[in-house]
Amino acid sequence: MRVTIFGATGMLGKALVRRWEGDIRGEDEDEVTGLGSAQADIRDPAQVVSAIQQSQPDQIVLAAAYTDVDGCELNPTLAFRVNTAGAVNVAKAAANAGARLLFVSTDYVFDGTKSTAYEPGDPRNPINAYGRSKAEAEIKMLTILPDACIVRTSWLFGPGGKCFPDTILKLAAARPELEVVNDQRGCPTYTLDLADAIIALFKSRARGIIHCTNSGDCTWHDFASEIIRQAGLRTVVRPTTSDKFVRPAPRPKYSVLSSSSLSKYGIEMRPWQETLLDYLALRAAKE
């Protein structure tokens, strides 16, 4: 099977290449082509078509995106060029090539007003430009490729990129106390676990919208506290509220994603707390 990954130089893209080329392949000899924006800028339909013609994939993962939430709010034109128009370019090229497509989306397509976990069929109602650009991409993609698989995930962290645990550990090295918001709740997701789930979904020929996160939910304060605890640090983590940290883009207060759609494919993801052990070990090995 030939697989092409758009966004292969990003945090998730690196994990996908690593896991697809690693030992989880089993007996399958998948040929993986990883493309960063230098090899294929998804904003340019000609570059997308050329990349797909050259790699001739059976399956495509679209992990490329402009994920700076505040940056999207300040430059929504760029957000929609990459996250919406870029996704449409890939979907059209995949349709013309007869390739299956999996698109990585986000919990930010929801407004955060629920108090129970979001299901795939819940109405989209994004409250920031990033969420709007991804929500529109989802809608347009399913029009072009009704059999596409859309994987919504949240609060990504992992090796090879800027992420929340890395930021917390760097701040903790310089400060005796940290203040972290305690009024936003979601599901931390480890990129290597997400990559494994995406590969399993492809092998199951999954279609439609699927929510995919590590199990369990927490606030950012809970997340930071667990990072500090597992790292064996003495930094004090104090709770605070979002209004104390005003940012350009509003965030959903509650964006926990239900695991029911993932469970239908027999895929269960471990608790997010367990994944921190792996992350910290990889981070330590590089220091």
CATH number of the domain encompassing residue 95: 3.40.50.720
**What CA–CA distances, in Å, run from 274 to 36, 74, 240, 252, 280?**
30, 35, 25, 25, 11
Give 214-242 pLDDT, tens digit per residue: 999 999 999 999 999 999 999 999 999 99
- Positions marked catalytic: 130
Query: Based on the number of CB atoms within 10 Å of its own CB, is 281 exposed (0-12), middle (13-18) or buried (19 or more)?
Result: exposed
pTM above 0.75, yes or no: yes
* Residue 276 located in a structural domain: no
Going by C-beta distance under 8 Å and a sequence separation of 6 or more, which residues neighbour residue 25?
A: none
* Residue 231 located in a structural domain: no
Average pLDDT, the chain: 95
The whole-number pLDDT of residue 287 equals 64
pLDDT at 24 over 60: no
pLDDT band per the 50, 70, 90 thresholds, residue 245: confident
Mean pLDDT of all residues in 238-255: 95
**Cα–Cα distance between 4 and 223 in angstroms, integer?**
33
Task: Give the pair of three-digit tokens for residue 60.
Answer: 């495509």
* Residue 165 located in a structural domain: no
The whole-number pLDDT of residue 28 equals 58
* Residue 242 located in a structural domain: no
Helix 272-285 and helix 220-231, axial crossing angle in degrees, nearest 10: 50
pLDDT at 210 over 50: yes
Give 39-94 pLDDT, tens digit per residue: 999 999 999 999 999 999 999 999 999 999 999 999 999 999 999 999 999 999 99
H-helix or E-strand containing 236?
Answer: strand 236-240
DSSP 3-state of 253: coil
* Residue 227 located in a structural domain: no
pLDDT at 25 over 80: no
19-28, 92-101, 171-180, 249-258: range with lowest mean pLDDT? 19-28
Q: What is the 3-state secondary structure (H, E, C) of 141-154?
A: HHHHCCCCEEEEEC
Q: What's the domain count of the chain? A: 1
Give 134-159 pLDDT, tens digit per residue: 999 999 999 999 999 999 999 999 99
The whole-number pLDDT of residue 30 equals 81
pLDDT at 286 over 60: yes
* Residue 147 located in a structural domain: yes
Domain that holds residue 65: 2-157+188-215+255-269
pLDDT at 23 over 50: no
* Residue 238 located in a structural domain: no
The whole-number pLDDT of residue 130 equals 98
**Cα–Cα distance between 128 and 162 in angstroms, integer?**
21
* Residue 244 located in a structural domain: no
